[in-house]
Amino acid sequence: MKIAVIGAGTIGLSWATLFAAHGHDVRISDPRPDLAEALGELIGRVHIAESVTEAVRDADVVQENGPERVEFKRDLFARLVAEAPEHALLFSSSSAIPSSEFTRDIDASRVLIGHPFNPPHVMPLVEVVPNPRTKEETIGKAVEFYRSLGRVPVVERKEVPGFVGNRLQNALQREAIHLVQEGVVDPAGLDEVVLNSLGLRWAAVGPFLGSHLGGGPGGYRHLTTHIGASMHRMTLGRPDPSPEATERVIEAVEKAYGGREYTDLAADRDRRQFAILAARQQGDEE
């Protein structure tokens, strides 16, 4: 397939890596002056387009990864609808903005959100979020396309800002910030708590199945009936959004992890995530 990647930031480059690894003809467009340098080893497998028009001219799929601004995406998708072939699927990697917010004045029938978790060449999830005018045919083709890349597409039938994954992530992050601000734990300690409990469990089962199993033979009903009331009495914190309080959290995170280069930390993360995925696959096969 011919795939246009619009935007060569962290997400766009990761998508390009995945598309190229599956043998697709990938063209990437971004105004950044160091695009060739940013592509690195992808040069030769991914072609630089001089413009958005050139990138999408013959595309079967367009994956947009531009700034998280409604105005930018509104202008860009108007161009994509006008300039990409009529059969082309138009996907946005938007992290929080539903596509109905930037497609009000254009044909949105082949537009939807294809939101990955970073980095998409490692993480399997793709949230497939149609807008009310997206054709069912487009949804089906999106699911088929992402599955062909070894991803796990999950169709979400109602638009909400942030979709599902980022809303869950934001809820946990808010409480994490609150706990650090209150001096309950430092950032490294909180990460250890998650790594050795929730993160480990959720890598094997999701929150609902984990709770269902936590209820023993009585399942989720037993858990909710016997423990639910005490859990509901727990009041979650509200992090202090002031610049001073935010700066203290930033400094605490930098103290915990600022001694290592970003590339080293990211490489360790990806290595561990690949190992977890391999272990899950082995567990599924046994």
| Cα distance between residue 31 and residue 7, in whole Å | 8
Active site residue 127: yes
Residue from 237, 241, 223, 125 nearest 190 by CA: 237
| Cα distance between residue 158 and residue 135, in whole Å | 14
Whether 194 and 127 have beta carbons less than 8 Å apart is answered as no
| Cα distance between residue 70 and residue 159, in whole Å | 15
Residue from 13, 18, 85, 24 nearest 53 by CA: 85
Q: Phi first, then psi: what are they for 106, rounded to 5°?
A: -130, 175
Place of tokens 């929080």: 96
DSSP letters, 76-107, are: HHHHHHHHS-TT-EEEE--SS--GGGT-TTS-
Query: Per the residue annotation, which of 54, 71, 127, 175 is the catalytic one?
Result: 127
| Positions marked catalytic | 127
